[in-house]
Structure 1
Amino acid sequence: MRQHWPLPEETKLAYTGPDWLLLLLNSCSPPIRDLTKLVLWKAWSLHNDITHESESSSILGSVHSLLSMRSALDEMQQQQGVGCRDEQHCSSSDKRIRHSKGKQKGLASSWTPPVKGWTKVNVDGSFVAQTGGAGVGVVARDDQGRALFAVCQELRRCADAAEAEATACLLGVRLGAERTPGRVVLETDCARLAAALKGSSDRSELGFIIGETHEHAKMLEEWKVVQVKRESNLVADELAQLARKTELSKVWLNCAPACIANLLELDCKSDS
């Protein structure tokens, strides 16, 4: 360590506490420095969650969140013409993280692809009452597990978790009718929404959203709603979390963001 230290011994004595961290970050490569900043930010965020007794994330959830934020930042930089400064390093790091996450038992998936000729659209909503933050996630896949489109959308106005779930269903059916106007299976892990969508009418506060969803469904050749377990809806959940935590609204056509690539791969492996 000493032979690589950029400062003389007498200078080091003048720095204490946080100064050491700033010096170390300054000596790192830009990709390592950016990743370290994200980890430090996440650690501080978790500290605040615990202090204020709000919803806290698991270790696996924190890893997902960091990957999502890094992916979102890279995409914003590319849109601005900046791009990733060390693409090879970023991709190799992501592969290592995805490989380690794939070994964790908590990620066991039970997602199954649709039968040939059908498209499966998974939807989910994310809402935190303490902050009022909300987001929805949607992913459509064919019988080979290939992503036809993926969506994450921030909800600036949302009353509760049920509204977030209903909005996700509406977005899934609307985009399914626009992009894959054939046979669609809509999967949600919300029992209330699955029951409401199977009915002919809904008189609750979500009635307007349910009604609009049925109107868009008329443009489909055939459709059905299926309630699934949460482990069958991991990709949509990750997209909803991405939208809520990063305030990102984006649509990917015939592809998917890097932050869910590992989950898509796990879903395909679980079926094989």
Structure 2
Amino acid sequence: MVLRDSLGKIIFSSCRELRACAEPLEAELLSCLEGLNLALQWTQLPIEVETDCRVALKMITAVDRDRSRYSMLVDQIRRLMSEGRVVKLAHICREQNSISHYLASFGRTECRTVVWLGSGPGNVPDLCKTDYALD
């Protein structure tokens, strides 16, 4: 995950090794939870959580109580979103999510959990600059 300000400057980027994960949906929900948790701690700015997973987005934004196997994760995300901060959820296409996919791959292949302040591994800073220029 990557947290950027309104000018595209990296506040932090991070990755986490998931030692047990049943499916990609679980990984996406865990990423949303962790990213939101970190963003709430590291900035007072409004937060926009972007995901390329429509299923996760639908689960989080549904009015009804979630009764899936991931109900605890969904409830935790909803609780964080209701703590009085401005949090917006947005769906983006997979091609727009290349930075997060790069970081997820890094965490998986390097078996590491890391937070970089103001930067990121490899070409993450360059990807952020390119991504911001395209917006």
- Determine if the TM-score, normalized by the shorter chain, exceeds 0.5: yes
The answer to whether the 8 Å contact 1:181/1:219 transfers is no
What residue is the counterpart of 1:152 in the other structure?
15
CA offsets, 1:178-219, max 9 Å, x none? 112441111000000111111233110111001111122233
CA offsets, 1:23-62, max 9 Å, x none? xxxxxxxxxxxxxxxxxxxxxxxxxxxxxxxxxxxxxxxx
Aligned counterpart in structure 2 of residue 249 of structure 1, from 110, 113, 124: 113
- The number of aligned residues is 134
Counterpart of 1:154, as a letter, is E
Counterpart of 1:186, as a letter, is V
What residue is the counterpart of 2:80 in the other structure?
216
Matched position secondary structure for 1:258: coil
- In structure 2, C-alpha distance between the alignment counterparts of 1:220 and 1:167, rounded to whole Å: 21
Report whether the alignment pairs 1:207 with 2:33: no
- In structure 2, C-alpha distance between the alignment counterparts of 1:179 and 1:185, rounded to whole Å: 14
Structure 2 CA distance for partners of 1:254 and 1:218, relative to 1, 3 Å? farther
CA offsets, 1:78-129, max 9 Å, x none? xxxxxxxxxxxxxxxxxxxxxxxxxxxxxxxxxxxxxxxxxxxxxxxxxxxx
The answer to whether the 8 Å contact 2:99/2:128 transfers is yes
- In structure 1, C-alpha distance between the alignment counterparts of 2:122 and 2:109, rounded to whole Å: 16
Report whether the alignment pairs 1:225 with 2:89: yes
Counterpart of 1:266, as a letter, is T
TM-score (norm 2): 0.91
- In structure 1, C-alpha distance between the alignment counterparts of 2:18 and 2:123, rounded to whole Å: 20
| Structure (1 or 2) with the larger CA radius of gyration | 1
Counterpart of 1:189, as a letter, is D
The answer to whether the 8 Å contact 1:177/1:220 transfers is no
1:1-272 alignment, distance < 5 Å: 138-200=1-63, 201-271=65-135
Higher helix share: 1
Q: 1:220: how far off?
A: 4.8
Counterpart of 2:33, as a letter, is L
What residue is the counterpart of 1:29 in the other structure?
none
Is there any run of 5+ residues in structure 2 with no aligned partner, and where? none
- In structure 2, C-alpha distance between the alignment counterparts of 1:256 and 1:247, rounded to whole Å: 16
Q: 1:246: how far off?
A: 1.2
Counterpart of 2:69, as a letter, is E
What value does the CA root-mean-square deviation take over the aligned residues?
1.4
**Identity over aligned pairs, percent:** 30
Counterpart of 1:190, as a letter, is C
Name segments (4+ residues, structure 1) moved above 4 Å. none
Q: 1:146: how far off?
A: 0.4
Q: 1:177: how far off?
A: 1.1
Q: 1:257: how far off?
A: 2.3
